[in-house]
Structures are given as C-alpha cells and as structure tokens.
Chains A and B, each alone.
Chain A
C-alpha cells in the first residue's frame, strides 16, 4: 500500500483522472481523430478519443483486454460498419478528408487503409491468388504480366518471396502461421495502401515468426503509416515511435514511445507498463 501511495505522490495524474495526457497531436498528421465515440448498442465502448497518427510513423495502441483499442482501430477503415448495432460518432479525417460520414464510399477508403488481423486469414485460394485478389477487384493491373509484377513486389516487400516463389499455385492455407501472416501483409500492400492497420498481428505466432514480422514492420514504415494494436509491451517498445495507452474505453496517455515507457505521466500507464495489472 505504501508503494501505491508513493507512486501517487510521484505521478501528477492519479488513477481516477481519465482525460488524455501527453501530446496527442502530431506535426505531420495523416489521420486526425477528434471526439471519437463508439457504441455497441447501448454500450459506450470507446469514449471521446482525440489522437493524431503521424505520417510514416508506427503508432502502437496498448492496454488491457477489452479496453477498446481494437474497436478504435477498426474505426480507421470503417470495419465497424460490418458489425450490426455498432455506431461511430466524431470526426475522423485522413489527409484532411473526412472518412466517418455516411456519404463516404468505404471501398476506396479500405483500399487506402489496409488491415492485417490477429489470426492469419488467407483466403482458401492459391498463394498467388491471395495476393492478386486486391489488385483484381480494384482493377490495378491492366494485363497479366502487370499483375504478376504486383504480386512479386508485394511478396518481396513482405519478405516472403524467396520462401514461396516456387509454390505460388499452392494453397495459401498450407503455409506456416508466420508465413500466412506475411502473406496477409503482402495481400494488404498489394493494393498499394497508405495506411496499414495491424490488430495484434503476432499474437498467434511463435517468437521467431514474431521477430520477422517486427522487422518487416520497421521496414514498411518508410512507405506506409502503421497503426498496430498489441498486447506485448516489448513489441510496442521495439517497433513503434509513438504509443497510446487505452483503459476501459478511454485514451489515457499518448506520447513518444520512449517517453511513455520510461517516464509515464499517468498513474494507470505506469501501473500497466510495470505489469501491476492487465
């Protein structure tokens, strides 16, 4: 108990303080979110989120299970539209253009904002067709050799080309878990997005596959803006430049990753990153 009292003394914001601390704005923002709320039916799942996502940056969303970080992530490419009863309010804009209104066409939006899921979910098609699917539905390739080039480039960028170049016609579901996840990343970058959302992309993978994906994320930063939800604080520390800590639907603290992990402002953040709950 004394320790808790001590830390309360150290931290300027105690546990009950629930508005965002730290710098939520970014100098060069790609996505700007202001007063975003998400409701599942009557449940107010995500409350009053204000955050900027900087260009060519990796921002990690951390927090205990059920804190709303995945729900918030799914606002950025309107995936919450597929859940009945789910309502998103507030302003979300990408490069200055609002993306949360009912008038926004989600098809081009989702082509710009790709998503990688927690569990690798390759389509039950060949490796080639998995990557070629996005370019096909968006008409990105004018002829078969273009398509082959897109597929090869995407697989190369996802670091999978050398492992699969001789087995492109085989089913994507036959790959190992880590390979499947990199296939899903290749599939996502094949449509040439600007932002990639990753929802706990390594939680179903072993440490070696995780290390490969993390390295990949670092490389992809040069070309894309990445928002990653993760349960692993080490992962957040390793791959991200900024970190946002969510708790019970609130964005508690956001800031430079190094700063959030070494000198958290809020008591809840400090307790979470030191493993006292979560």
Chain B
C-alpha cells in the first residue's frame, strides 16, 4: 500500500475508533449506572490517539530511514570494483542511476551489474512496502485494542488526552525554537568557514569591500577584499535618512490623529496610513529607482549639486515613507495608552492642549515611542528590495547621502545571484554578512522590547 493511502487509512480508523468508543462510553455509563470519570468524548479521543499515533510514528520512521537502508541494500549487490575508492559524488550518481532504472525511466546503455543492483532495489522496495503496511496496521489495531480494554468508568481518559495535547503544544513551540536555533547555527557555521579563509579582523575592520575572486590563480586582482565597514556605513546611512524622514512625519501624524483629529477622520486616516506598510517592497523599489532617484538627480542638477543616479538619499527617502506606518501606528498606540488622568491633571492646572501634549503626554509616552522607532530602524536595516534597486552596488566609504552606497542586504543578494561555487569565500561571505545583520537587528529588537516593556510596567 502507498504511504499516503496508509496515512488516510489510519486517520479513517482513528475517526471510527473515536465515534465508536464515545458511543460505547456513553452506553457504559447508562448500563452500569455509574458516573464516568471523564466526558464520553475524552474516551473517544483517548482511543483515537492510541489508534493513530503508533501507526503514524511507524510511518514517520519509515519516511526518515527507508531511503538510506534501501540504497545501502542495493549498493551491497554491486561488485567491489564499483565502489572502491570512488568519490562520494560518484556514488551519488550511481545511486541516482539505480533509482531511475528501478523506476524504468533510465535511457541508454545499462551495465548488467547496475541492472542487478536496480533489480535488488525494486525488490527491497516491494518488501519494505509490504512490511510497512503490515506493521503499521498491526500497530494501530493493537493500540486500538489496548485502549479499548482500558475503558471503564474509573479510567481517567481526560487526564491522558490532556497530557498528549500538552506534548503536542510543546512540540509546536519547540519546532519554532529549533528552527531559529538551526538557522542561527547554520549561518554561524558557514560564517566560521568563511573566517577560516578570510581573517575575522579583516572582515570586521576592513575598509574595502570588493568580493571578486579570480577564476585562475594568476588573474589580476585575484584576492578579494572583504572589509564590512563600507557596507555597514552604507546601511546606517540609508537607515538614518529613512528615520529622518519617518520619525517626524510618523510621530507628528500620530499626535494629530490621537489628540486633535475627530473620530471620523481618524477612522479613515489610520487605515490609509497603514496601507503604506502593505505595499510590496519591490513596488517601493522601482518607485525609488525610476521616479525618486531621477527626480532628485534633476533637482540636484538645477541647483548645482551633483547627485548620483543611484543615491543613498533616494533609497532612504522611499524607505522612510515605507516605515512611516511603523512609527505612527506604534506611537499612536502609546500616546493613546497615556492615561486620561494625566491630561486632566495638566488641563486642570490651566495648561493648553499643545502644552499638555508637549510637556505631559509625549514625555509619558516617550519610552514607547522610542521602542517603536527602534523597531522601525531594525526594519530599515533589514530592508533589501528598495536598496537593491535604488542604492547601487558600489561600496563607497562615504557619509555623503548624495553618493551611491551599498548595504549589507544588497551585497548578500549580489553575492548569491548567479552561478557560484558554494565553498568560495565570495559565497560564504554572504553568511558572514547575514550573521552581522542578524546580530545588529537582534540587538535593536531586544533594546526596543526592553524599553517598551519598561513603559508597560509603568502604567499597568
């Protein structure tokens, strides 16, 4: 039986087990006249779980282990000469051949030895399938029978079911955690490989970024330069421009919306501002590259300023517009969270509305607002698409927002686009850049959350 059919069969079986046992528990309560420990449904769930879990576990085990066992069995049939001293890639090719012959999709001359191995592979696959079917159905049935024997009014089915539910919940939480840990570890390990080729001090403190690796050893410029400083500087420059745009506009619009605007205007304006966050970044990207950048360059030419056609200013401006909703939405929430009693206190002293906002409301909401700004900043630092399209690729070491700069994210994209050797420093550099970016945004987020939490404690 196919694995998918088996899977559906087990699920079907456990559904039937659920309904049957629920009904049985109910009749048991009626006939014996005793009160069940748990609701009838829990006895049903208990049996259904005992029916489904053993079979599904076996299925999972098969999925994980079957492939390698089968190929090992098939390779054992090959003459020694095929495997002696063969590189791992070579063996992988061989295995692929064997699999396609077994499926009948191989075209071309077939070596009789390989044909033999392929036959063995098909044979083993057959056996494996039969074994799995028999085993998993047996496991499910015996689970079912075992659970059935335990159904009696004193049995604490609810407690058992809830234990399983808790295990499932823990499993889900752990999946998220382990995925994060896995990603971090893989980035870390690849970065360490990179630091074996390029010294970590060169990477962290180098002032030149030029990740060209020569195809041949004697080519000009054969050694790349992997100094991350120009990229960090470019990232910070663009993020700063973005924040200079987003913080005043976002904060002031939040103040207007929360303190001055009529409820009707607010109900319309707030969702409209939040739409800005929903525009795909690639749209912002070509808007920056095709509209804002040429506009800025022409403007600059008019007043005698030389603005590069791919400038930090253009990318930063557009990115600033993108993060306005982050600043305004969060600030708005925190301004609204300032208790009315504080405003009343200021009004009762004869403060005007603007005095109250400037001197009481904003200072009270400030930690939250700063938290919001930091979250927006980490968003700006990690933003990729706009800068790829609008900021350029030249890693200039400059603080001039009119020049072309490049960012960490842009360089990661360019390093990985196209055909690359996976173990060259050029490719591995992307992991090191990713690590830097991760650490940077992580620090910002932790800082922001800390500030926001401190603020919450103050008023709740």
Q: Which residues of A contact B (CB under 8 A)?
A: 77, 79, 82, 106-111, 114-115, 117, 119, 121-125, 133-134, 137-138, 173, 184, 187-188, 191
Contacts and interface: CB of A to CB of B under 8 A. Distances in A.
Given A133-B359, A137-B355, A121 B349 contact: no
Contact of A79 (B347, B359, B360): B347
Contacts of B351: 107, 133, 137
A121 B345 contact: yes
Interface in B344-361: 344-352, 355, 359-360
A273 B407 CA distance: 75
A133 B349 CA distance: 9
A188 B347 CA distance: 11
Nearest to B364: A124
23 contacts: A77-B348, A79-B347, A79-B348, A82-B343, A82-B344, A107-B351, A110-B347, A110-B348, A110-B350, A111-B349, A114-B348, A117-B344, A121-B339, A121-B341, A123-B342, A124-B342, A124-B363, A124-B364, A125-B363, A133-B349, A133-B351, A134-B349, A188-B349
A108 B350 contact: yes
B32 interface: no
B81 interface: no
A107 B344 contact: no
Contacts of B343: 82
Contacts of A191: 349-350
A117 B355 contact: no
A123 B344 contact: no
Given A121-B339, A123-B364, A124-B364, A184 B344 contact: no
Interface string B62-89: 0000000000000000000000000000
Q: Indicate the size class of the contact surface on chain B.
A: 10 to 19
Given A82-B344, A106-B350, A115-B348, 19 more contacts: A82-B343, A107-B352, A110-B347, A110-B350, A111-B349, A114-B348, A114-B349, A117-B348, A121-B342, A121-B344, A123-B345, A123-B360, A124-B342, A125-B363, A133-B346, A133-B349, A137-B351, A137-B359, A173-B458
A188 B359 CA distance: 17
Contacts of A106: 350
B350 to A, nearest CB: 4
Contact of A119 (B341, B346, B360, B363): B341
Contact of A110 (B349, B359, B363, B364): B349
Interface in B306-359: 339, 341-352, 355, 359
Nearest to B262: A84
Contacts of B359: 133, 137
Nearest to A109: B350
A117 B341 contact: yes
Contacts of B349: 110-111, 114, 133-134, 137, 187-188, 191
A117 B339 CA distance: 13
B348 A188 contact: yes
A124 B350 contact: no
List the 3 closest A-B pairs by CB distance, nearest first: A115-B348, A110-B350, A121-B341
A195 to B, nearest CB: 12
Interface in B241-277: none
A138 B351 CA distance: 8
Contacts of A173: 458
A137 B356 CA distance: 10
A65 B339 CA distance: 22
A117 B347 contact: no
Contacts of B347: 79, 82, 110
Nearest to A133: B349
Contacts of A108: 350
Contact of B350 (A111, A117, A121, A123): A111
A221 B136 CA distance: 89
A262 to B, nearest CB: 34
Contacts of B458: 124, 173
Contacts of A117: 341, 344-345, 348
Contacts of B355: 137
